[in-house]
Amino acid sequence: MNKAFTREDNGDEDEEVQPESPLPAGTKYYITRTGFNKLRGELDHLVRVERPEVVSVVSWAASNGDRSENGDYIYGKRRLREIDRRVRFLIKRLESATVVDPETQQGLEQVFFGATVTVCDQDGEEATYQIVGVDETDTFAGKISWISPLAKALYKAREGDTVRFASPGGMRELDVVAIRYI
């Protein structure tokens, strides 16, 4: 068969893959003010700094002639697609975000979104967690998603309450020691 009638896939075209949302269908996208500002800062950096730099590299590489074996051009175009995909994702996230300010919460004696909760396990080990949005989670910093099993168990708990939840290691019980909103 003549090569003119065959399509060769050189792997340059990345398929548009939308990240699957960790949120249950129909729920709001809650985020703290800090998390919202971080996402907005990332979007601003991509649009104002990183994308223009990559565009200038791709433009320079395109002016060099043959683009089929031009690494700067090929990888620059791929990076532009990655940046554009991330920009679209961030715009959608920021548009749908419901910013929750912990300082304006009602019922500060209970655990709600944005709370920083200190808990104690049966061995007497204390740990502190802040309940944040799904894009803000950082387990090493003690920031857990509001849809995590632990956060769901802590929801509406008060100081002195004992909560039970299913962890990867089995059922656990934790005593709520302190609740703060900062």
Residue 136: how many other CB atoms lie within 10 Å: 21
Q: Round the average pLDDT of the chain to a whole number and report it.
A: 85
Model confidence at 61: pLDDT above 50: yes
Domain end, chosen from 67, 83, 100, is at 100
- Find the CATH number of the domain harbouring 122: 3.10.50.30
Band of pLDDT at residue 23, cut at 50, 70 and 90: low
| Same domain as 124, residue 111 | yes
pLDDT score recorded for residue 63: 83
Per-residue confidence (pLDDT) for residue 174, from 0 to 100: 94
Same domain? For 72 and 94 the reply is yes
113 and 61 both lie in a single domain: no
Which has more pLDDT, 2 or 115? 115
What pLDDT score was predicted for residue 108?
Answer: 80
Same domain (yes/no): 63, 42: yes
Whole-number pLDDT of residue 79: 94
Question: Residue 111's pLDDT is what?
Answer: 93
Residue 19 — very low, low, confident or very high, per pLDDT cuts 50/70/90? Answer: low
How do residues 159-182 score in pLDDT, each as one tens digit? 999 999 998 888 999 999 999 987
Asked if the structure places residue 6 within a domain, the reply is no
Indicate if the pLDDT at residue 24 is higher than 70: no
Domain residues for the domain of 139 are 102-181
Residue 128 located in a structural domain? yes
* Domain-located, residue 61: yes
User: Using an 8 Å Cβ cutoff, are 153 and 164 in contact?
Assistant: yes
* CATH number of the structural domain spanning residue 69: 1.10.287.180
On whether residue 1 sits in a domain, the answer given is no
Structural domain includes residue 23? no
Q: Is the pLDDT of residue 99 over 80?
A: yes
Residue-level pLDDT at 69: 74
Instruction: For residue 14, tell me if it sits in a domain.
Output: no
pLDDT value at position 6? 47
The pLDDT score that the predictor gives to residue 22 is 62
- State how far the Cα of 166 lies from the Cα of 58, in Å rounded to an integer: 50
Count of structural domains within the chain:
2
Is residue 50 over pLDDT 90? yes
Domain boundary among 47, 71, 100: 100
Flag whether pLDDT at 127 surpasses 70.
Answer: yes
- Give the per-residue SS3 of the chain: CCHHHCCCCCCCCCCCCCCCCCCCCCCCEEEEHHHHHHHHHHHHHHHHHHHHHHHHHHHHHHCCCCCCCCHHHHHHHHHHHHHHHHHHHHHHHHHHEEEECHHHCCCCCECCCCEEEEEECCCCCEEEEEEECCCCCEHHHCEEECCCHHHHHHCCCECCCEEEEEECCEEEEEEEEEEEEC
In this structure, the answer to whether residues 83 and 118 fall within a common structural domain is no
Q: According to the model, what pLDDT value does residue 8 have? A: 46
Q: Is residue 66 part of a domain?
A: yes
Residues 115 and 81 in one domain: no
The answer to whether residue 153 sits within a structural domain is: yes
